[in-house]
Amino acid sequence: MNRPDIAPEVAAARRNFYDRIGAQSMTPLWEVLGALVPPFPHSPVAPAIWHYADVRERVAEAGELITAAEAERRVLILENPALRGQSCITQSLYAGLQLILPGEVAPSHRHAQSALRLVLDGEGAYTAVDGERVTMSRGDFIITPAWTWHDHGNLGNQPVVWLDGLDIPLVRFLDAGFSEKSPEESQRTVRPEGDALARYGSNMLPIDYEPTQSAPTKVFVYPFAQTRSALLAISHGVPDAHLGFKQKFVNPATGGSPMPTIGAFTQRLPAGFETRPYRSTDGTVYVCLEGAGEAEIGDQLYRFEENDVFVVPPWHTLCLRARQDTILFSFSDRPVQRALGLWRDERL
Ligand code: 1HN
């Protein structure tokens, strides 16, 4: 805190005092109080965009330098430009672009961190979660909840790229991370593809299934074909001025977030639509799945196209303009903030 009005001898006495208490691992609150309890969030996170057209060649190059088996996961981390070296895109979230080539396997492991995948490019890969495989198609939103075994493979003839989103910084902050490698490279399949979606995602639940409120969903794939047709079906009447036609993904058994630490959303913006300024406390990662437009984040303007990824820092105003009919996917730590009573938003 700057106190220009104090006498030099008082300032010197205080500095002397701070030095002496510093030797006893203490420091005066009054010098830092304003920064500790700001009137509104001042995030160190910077707005940023990764244009897929500019980075896809780098992702392909990684495929020539290392195998998925050697890398365990061949991923280029999307590091927030203001937080380099910290493996994060916001202070609570990690994002990366993962590549798997035909014939490769990313071996089975599990960890305390929760993960989501959003499939961007190529066909023929699968991910296996808890003994069930799902074929990955573009736009599919797939989850691997905390401590579930998961591995990936590519049975097709094209490279496949997806966006990973994990709660790595959040788990690191809490010092609650555990992980384990499986002795088997790929999980044995114990249920046929589609089993979880049929059991838990068909407006029915197994007769004895009673999930807790924060339980992750047993439905681990939200197919883009369903998401897209639902968005088109609700796109009538007047879109929300700040959000367009926006939906949240849920655990169909609880109505809560698919995973307790990461919330996921999708929205459709009709061609020519422009959202009113909006801000919220959850820094959010956006992916353009269809269309093109502009994102005005604070005072920065970014043009986005299909497969571009951009990050909106906490409490930064966002205006979206759709040049074409646009579908966006997004994720954030909103369920954590809501559970803790911290989440706020503002429609400007
Ligand atoms: C992980 O397990 C995956 O399973 C991707 O594909 C990215 C980043 C950090 C830690 C674990 C995956 C990851 C990760």
71 CA to middle of ligand 1, Å? Answer: 11
- The gap from C-alpha 275 to its chain's centroid, in whole angstroms, comes to 22
| Tens of pLDDT, residues 139-179 | 999 999 999 999 999 999 999 999 999 999 999 999 999 99
CB distance 168 to ligand 1 below 6 Å = yes
Indicate which atom in ligand 1 lies nearest the CA of residue 96.
Answer: 7
Q: Report the pLDDT value the prediction gives residue 2, as an integer from 0 to 100.
A: 56
Cα 38 to averaged position of ligand 1 atoms, centre (Å): 34
Report the pLDDT value the prediction gives residue 5, as an integer from 0 to 100.
86
Asked if residue 1 has pLDDT above 60, the reply is no
> pLDDT band at 3, cuts 50/70/90?
low
pLDDT digits (tens, 9 = 90+) for 182-200: 999 999 999 999 999 999 9
205-230 confidence digits (pLDDT tens): 999 999 998 899 999 999 999 999 99
Tokens for 216? 């992750």
Is the full-model pTM beyond 0.85?
yes
User: Taking a C-beta distance cutoff of 8 angstroms, is the pair 122, 158 a contact?
Assistant: yes
Domains of the chain: 48-347 (2.60.120.10)
Cβ distance 95 to 326 under 8 Å? Answer: no
Instruction: Output the pLDDT for position 283.
Output: 98
- Dmax (CA) for the chain in angstroms is 78
Q: Radius of gyration (Cα) for the chain, nearest Å? A: 23
Mean pLDDT of 321-340: 98
10 Å Cβ neighbour count for 155? 13
Q: Choose the residue to mutate in 74, 75, 163, 171 for probing ligand 1, maximizing ligand atoms within 8 Å of C-beta.
A: 75
